[in-house]
Protein backbone atom coordinates (compact mmCIF):
# COMPACT_ATOMS: atom_id res chain seq x y z
CA UNK A 1 0.00 0.00 0.00
CA UNK A 2 2.75 2.43 0.99
CA UNK A 3 4.69 1.47 -2.12
CA UNK A 4 1.71 2.24 -4.35
CA UNK A 5 1.17 5.57 -2.61
CA UNK A 6 4.82 6.58 -3.01
CA UNK A 7 4.90 5.41 -6.62
CA UNK A 8 1.79 7.41 -7.42
CA UNK A 9 3.12 10.56 -5.79
CA UNK A 10 6.44 10.28 -7.60
CA UNK A 11 4.69 9.63 -10.90
CA UNK A 12 2.37 12.60 -10.44
CA UNK A 13 5.15 15.01 -9.55
CA UNK A 14 7.37 13.55 -12.26
CA UNK A 15 4.93 14.44 -15.03
CA UNK A 16 3.77 17.74 -13.47
CA UNK A 17 6.97 19.47 -12.35
CA UNK A 18 8.82 19.88 -15.67
CA UNK A 19 7.83 23.34 -16.90
CA UNK A 20 6.34 23.24 -20.37
CA UNK A 21 3.84 25.17 -22.44
CA UNK A 22 0.85 24.08 -20.35
CA UNK A 23 2.47 25.16 -17.08
CA UNK A 24 3.48 28.48 -18.59
CA UNK A 25 -0.05 29.06 -19.87
CA UNK A 26 -1.49 28.17 -16.46
CA UNK A 27 0.67 30.78 -14.71
CA UNK A 28 -0.08 33.43 -17.33
CA UNK A 29 -3.81 32.71 -17.25
CA UNK A 30 -3.96 33.09 -13.47
CA UNK A 31 -1.93 36.31 -13.61
CA UNK A 32 -4.44 37.79 -16.06
CA UNK A 33 -7.61 36.56 -14.34
CA UNK A 34 -8.22 35.29 -10.81
CA UNK A 35 -6.88 32.63 -8.49
CA UNK A 36 -10.24 30.86 -8.75
CA UNK A 37 -9.86 30.58 -12.52
CA UNK A 38 -6.28 29.42 -12.14
CA UNK A 39 -7.21 26.73 -9.63
CA UNK A 40 -9.97 25.50 -11.93
CA UNK A 41 -7.45 25.28 -14.76
CA UNK A 42 -5.01 23.48 -12.45
CA UNK A 43 -7.70 20.96 -11.59
CA UNK A 44 -8.25 20.39 -15.31
CA UNK A 45 -4.59 19.47 -15.80
CA UNK A 46 -4.62 17.22 -12.73
CA UNK A 47 -7.81 15.50 -13.91
CA UNK A 48 -6.15 14.62 -17.21
CA UNK A 49 -3.04 13.35 -15.40
CA UNK A 50 -5.14 11.25 -13.06
CA UNK A 51 -7.22 9.94 -15.95
CA UNK A 52 -4.14 8.89 -17.87
CA UNK A 53 -2.72 7.24 -14.76
CA UNK A 54 -5.95 5.24 -14.54
CA UNK A 55 -5.76 4.36 -18.24
CA UNK A 56 -2.18 3.19 -17.82
CA UNK A 57 -3.06 1.05 -14.81
CA UNK A 58 -6.01 -0.57 -16.60
CA UNK A 59 -4.61 -0.81 -20.11
CA UNK A 60 -0.88 -1.19 -19.75
CA UNK A 61 1.05 -1.83 -22.95
CA UNK A 62 -2.14 -2.12 -25.01
CA UNK A 63 -2.83 1.59 -24.50
CA UNK A 64 0.71 2.52 -25.50
CA UNK A 65 0.24 0.54 -28.71
CA UNK A 66 -2.90 2.50 -29.55
CA UNK A 67 -1.36 5.88 -28.74
CA UNK A 68 1.94 5.38 -30.58
CA UNK A 69 0.56 5.58 -34.16
CA UNK A 70 -1.28 8.86 -33.46
CA UNK A 71 1.31 10.47 -31.21
CA UNK A 72 2.54 12.76 -33.99
CA UNK A 73 -0.88 14.18 -34.93
CA UNK A 74 -1.78 14.59 -31.25
CA UNK A 75 1.37 16.63 -30.71
CA UNK A 76 0.39 18.87 -33.61
CA UNK A 77 -3.12 19.33 -32.21
CA UNK A 78 -1.76 20.13 -28.75
CA UNK A 79 0.76 22.62 -30.14
CA UNK A 80 -1.88 24.23 -32.34
CA UNK A 81 -4.25 24.78 -29.43
CA UNK A 82 -1.46 26.29 -27.34
CA UNK A 83 -0.45 28.66 -30.14
CA UNK A 84 -4.07 29.81 -30.56
CA UNK A 85 -4.36 30.45 -26.82
CA UNK A 86 -1.05 32.32 -26.78
CA UNK A 87 -2.09 34.56 -29.68
CA UNK A 88 -5.48 35.15 -28.10
CA UNK A 89 -3.85 36.16 -24.82
CA UNK A 90 -1.48 38.57 -26.57
CA UNK A 91 -4.30 40.17 -28.60
CA UNK A 92 -6.49 40.58 -25.51
CA UNK A 93 -3.60 42.19 -23.60
CA UNK A 94 -2.93 44.62 -26.45
CA UNK A 95 -6.60 45.61 -26.68
CA UNK A 96 -6.83 46.20 -22.94
CA UNK A 97 -3.62 48.24 -22.97
CA UNK A 98 -4.75 50.43 -25.88
CA UNK A 99 -8.16 51.05 -24.33
CA UNK A 100 -7.58 51.12 -20.55
CA UNK A 101 -10.99 52.70 -19.96
CA UNK A 102 -12.72 49.74 -21.52
CA UNK A 103 -13.69 46.74 -19.45
CA UNK A 104 -10.76 44.30 -19.26
CA UNK A 105 -11.14 41.19 -21.37
CA UNK A 106 -11.33 38.04 -19.24
CA UNK A 107 -9.77 35.20 -21.27
CA UNK A 108 -11.57 32.38 -19.47
CA UNK A 109 -13.90 31.80 -16.55
CA UNK A 110 -13.33 28.93 -14.10
CA UNK A 111 -15.53 26.47 -16.00
CA UNK A 112 -14.01 27.16 -19.40
CA UNK A 113 -10.53 27.22 -17.88
CA UNK A 114 -11.06 23.72 -16.45
CA UNK A 115 -12.33 22.32 -19.75
CA UNK A 116 -9.62 24.05 -21.80
CA UNK A 117 -6.68 22.83 -19.70
CA UNK A 118 -8.24 19.38 -19.43
CA UNK A 119 -8.47 19.20 -23.22
CA UNK A 120 -4.96 20.49 -23.82
CA UNK A 121 -3.48 17.95 -21.42
CA UNK A 122 -5.57 15.09 -22.80
CA UNK A 123 -4.24 15.57 -26.34
CA UNK A 124 -0.66 15.37 -25.08
CA UNK A 125 0.46 11.78 -25.82
CA UNK A 126 3.52 12.14 -23.62
CA UNK A 127 1.41 11.85 -20.47
CA UNK A 128 -0.15 8.47 -21.21
CA UNK A 129 3.12 7.05 -22.55
CA UNK A 130 4.88 8.25 -19.40
CA UNK A 131 2.40 6.64 -17.02
CA UNK A 132 2.26 3.44 -19.08
CA UNK A 133 6.04 3.10 -18.99
CA UNK A 134 6.04 3.55 -15.22
CA UNK A 135 3.22 1.12 -14.58
CA UNK A 136 4.52 -1.59 -16.89
CA UNK A 137 8.13 -1.19 -15.76
CA UNK A 138 7.47 -1.08 -12.03
CA UNK A 139 4.87 -3.83 -11.92
CA UNK A 140 6.19 -6.31 -14.47
CA UNK A 141 6.02 -9.82 -13.12
CA UNK A 142 4.25 -8.86 -9.90
CA UNK A 143 0.60 -9.04 -8.92
CA UNK A 144 -1.03 -5.73 -8.06
CA UNK A 145 -4.28 -5.52 -6.11
CA UNK A 146 -7.19 -3.30 -7.13
CA UNK A 147 -6.71 -1.25 -3.96
CA UNK A 148 -3.06 -0.60 -4.82
CA UNK A 149 -4.09 0.50 -8.31
CA UNK A 150 -6.64 2.92 -6.84
CA UNK A 151 -4.08 4.30 -4.41
CA UNK A 152 -1.57 4.80 -7.24
CA UNK A 153 -4.07 6.71 -9.39
CA UNK A 154 -5.32 8.91 -6.53
CA UNK A 155 -1.77 9.67 -5.41
CA UNK A 156 -0.78 10.64 -8.96
CA UNK A 157 -3.82 12.92 -9.19
CA UNK A 158 -3.11 14.52 -5.79
CA UNK A 159 0.54 15.14 -6.67
CA UNK A 160 -0.33 16.74 -9.99
CA UNK A 161 -3.13 18.82 -8.44
CA UNK A 162 -0.89 20.15 -5.68
CA UNK A 163 1.82 21.20 -8.11
CA UNK A 164 -0.59 22.81 -10.58
CA UNK A 165 -2.24 24.67 -7.69
CA UNK A 166 1.20 25.95 -6.67
CA UNK A 167 1.73 27.24 -10.21
CA UNK A 168 -1.68 28.93 -10.13
CA UNK A 169 -0.78 30.56 -6.82
CA UNK A 170 2.43 31.85 -8.37
CA UNK A 171 0.43 33.29 -11.25
CA UNK A 172 -1.97 35.01 -8.85
CA UNK A 173 0.98 36.52 -6.97
CA UNK A 174 2.51 37.66 -10.24
CA UNK A 175 -0.77 39.31 -11.18
CA UNK A 176 -0.86 41.23 -7.91
CA UNK A 177 2.74 42.39 -8.23
CA UNK A 178 2.33 43.56 -11.84
CA UNK A 179 -0.70 45.74 -11.23
CA UNK A 180 0.33 48.41 -13.72
CA UNK A 181 -1.02 48.35 -17.26
CA UNK A 182 2.44 48.17 -18.79
CA UNK A 183 3.52 45.38 -16.45
CA UNK A 184 0.51 43.27 -17.35
CA UNK A 185 1.04 43.91 -21.06
CA UNK A 186 4.69 42.90 -20.94
CA UNK A 187 3.87 39.79 -18.90
CA UNK A 188 1.15 38.72 -21.33
CA UNK A 189 3.34 39.23 -24.40
CA UNK A 190 6.35 37.47 -22.89
CA UNK A 191 4.28 34.53 -21.69
CA UNK A 192 2.62 34.23 -25.11
CA UNK A 193 6.01 34.17 -26.81
CA UNK A 194 7.27 31.51 -24.39
CA UNK A 195 4.15 29.39 -24.92
CA UNK A 196 4.57 29.54 -28.71
CA UNK A 197 8.25 28.59 -28.40
CA UNK A 198 7.43 25.64 -26.13
CA UNK A 199 4.65 24.54 -28.47
CA UNK A 200 7.10 24.53 -31.38
CA UNK A 201 9.54 22.55 -29.26
CA UNK A 202 6.77 20.04 -28.50
CA UNK A 203 6.28 19.45 -32.22
CA UNK A 204 9.99 19.15 -32.94
CA UNK A 205 10.78 16.86 -29.99
pLDDT at position 53 over 80: yes
The pLDDT of residue 141: 46
The pLDDT of residue 184: 65
pLDDT at position 145 over 60: yes
CA dist., res. 56 & res. 12, Å (int): 13
Q: Name the average pLDDT for the chain.
A: 76
Number of structural domains in the chain: 1
pLDDT tens per residue, range 90-102:
777 777 667 655 4
The pLDDT of residue 38: 92
pLDDT tens per residue, range 68-89:
676 677 677 767 776 877 787 7
Alpha-helical runs (H) found in the chain: 2-16, 21-32, 35-59, 61-67, 71-98, 110-122, 125-139, 146-177, 181-204
Rounding to the nearest 10 degrees, give the CA dihedral for residues 64, 142, 151, 137. Answer: -40
pLDDT tens per residue, range 169-196:
988 887 776 656 666 677 677 767 877 7
Which residues are within 8 A (CB) of 86 and not within 5 positions of it... i.e. 6 or more apart? 25, 191, 192, 193, 195, 196, 199
Looking from the CA of 188 toward its CB, the CA atoms found within 13 Å total: 25
Note down the domain range covering 156: 2-204
What is the share, in percent, of the chain residues with pLDDT greater than 70? 67
Amino acid sequence: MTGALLAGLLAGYGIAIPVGAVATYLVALTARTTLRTGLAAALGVATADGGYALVAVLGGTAIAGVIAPVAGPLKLVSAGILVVLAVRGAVSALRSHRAPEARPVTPLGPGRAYVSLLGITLVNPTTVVYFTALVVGDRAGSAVSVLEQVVFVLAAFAASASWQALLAGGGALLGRVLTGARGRLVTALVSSAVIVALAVRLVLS
